[in-house]
Amino acid sequence: MRLFDIAALFGLASALPNPLPLPQAVATGENSTGTLFGAITSLIPTLSLKTNDPHDLTQGAQCKPIYFLMARGSREWGTVGVTIGPPVCKGLKDIYGEKLGCDGLGPAYSGGLLDNVSEKGTTDAAITEGVKIFAFAHTKCPDSVLLFGGYSQGAAVMHNVISSLPPEIHDQIAGGILWGDTKNQQSDGMIKGFPKEKVLILCTPDDGVCWGKLDVTAGHLAYTHNGDEARSVQWLKGRIDGFKGKAGGGAPAVATKPVVSRGEE
């Protein structure tokens, strides 16, 4: 299913709250417009309101020890979107409570569907906004530990943003995760100029955007239903707790290799 054919479908996909029961068609990775559309529309009656627009960094009066900064996927709304962002934010807050805040990009990052086809995979405005929020975090809260996440087009945003940051901000970042990374193959599974051990890239084998094309398949919607949600929270916890003894007072960080999810687990 080509990207240009799914604007309306992606609007529905981005409206899904999480976690939700996953229809069998998506769970098994069946790949057709009709199957995916049916899977999405079957979930519409279960839609509910979510807390998906936190501004804990940009509007918070005081600094928190940890911040998770998110770039949502195309056509999602809120600072952290409505798919993988909210449950990861919640999972981290369940662990760290008020020590952790969440925030994200917008409104300059609009998440426009056709922005995916640009050379950078997003807009210059989105990249500039992302650089600014990290610079703001560094200036306002230089002792806070920073995390990042990016889903779909948001992963492309983070590729560009993190690569553009100076070393002193890189040093403040404990780690980040990219889900359904539209630049995974083009970037050889890494973020240019950023330590590989600080990045976890999660791409299902049937996610068509991860392997050099912009084919939105069933696998692109699976990250909150295939175990990667909980896996992401635990991986970020490991990065936080071992980062310079901050946030959790843990031991020095142990280097880990980035992992691309290929469905073996």
Just list the catalytic residues: 152, 207, 220
Secondary element (H or E) of residue 170: helix 167-170
Report the distance separating Cα 11 and Cα 3, nearest Å: 12
SS3 content of the chain, % helix, strand, coil (to 5): 40, 10, 50
Q: Please state the separation of Cα 110 from the chain's center in Å.
A: 15
| DSSP string over 72-141 | PPTT--SSS-SSSHHHHHHHHHHHHGGGEEEEE--SS----GGGGGSTTSS-HHHHHHHHHHHHHHHHH-
Strand ranges, E, within the chain = 66-71, 100-104, 145-151, 173-179, 199-202
Judging by beta carbons within 10 Å of its beta carbon (0-12, 13-18, 19+), is residue 186 exposed, middle or buried? middle
Rg (Cα) of the chain, in Å, rounded?
A: 17
Report the distance separating Cα 152 and Cα 154, nearest Å: 5
Give the count of alpha carbons within 13 A of 94, CB side only.
Answer: 10
Secondary element (H or E) of residue 232: helix 228-241
Strands 199-202 and 145-151: unpaired
Name residue, tokens 């901050």: 246
